[in-house]
Structure 1
Amino acid sequence: MECIVKFDVVYPHEIKSLRGLVFVDQDAMPGTEQLIGMFKDMSYQVTADPADPMRFLPAGASSTFEYIRIRELDTGEQKFTEDRDLKNLLSNLLPNQNRPI
Structure 2
Amino acid sequence: MEAGEKTQYDLSPDKAKIAQKFAHAGTRKTPTAYKFTPRQRKPNATKGGIIAELADFLEKNSQFSIVDLAITNKERQIAFSIGGDSFELTLVQKRKPKK
- State the TM-score, normalized to the length of structure 1: 0.26
- Greater percentage in helix: 2
Q: Which has the higher contact order (CA 8 A, sep 6+)?
A: 1
Larger Rg: 2
- State the TM-score, normalized to the length of structure 2: 0.27
- Greater percentage in strand: 1
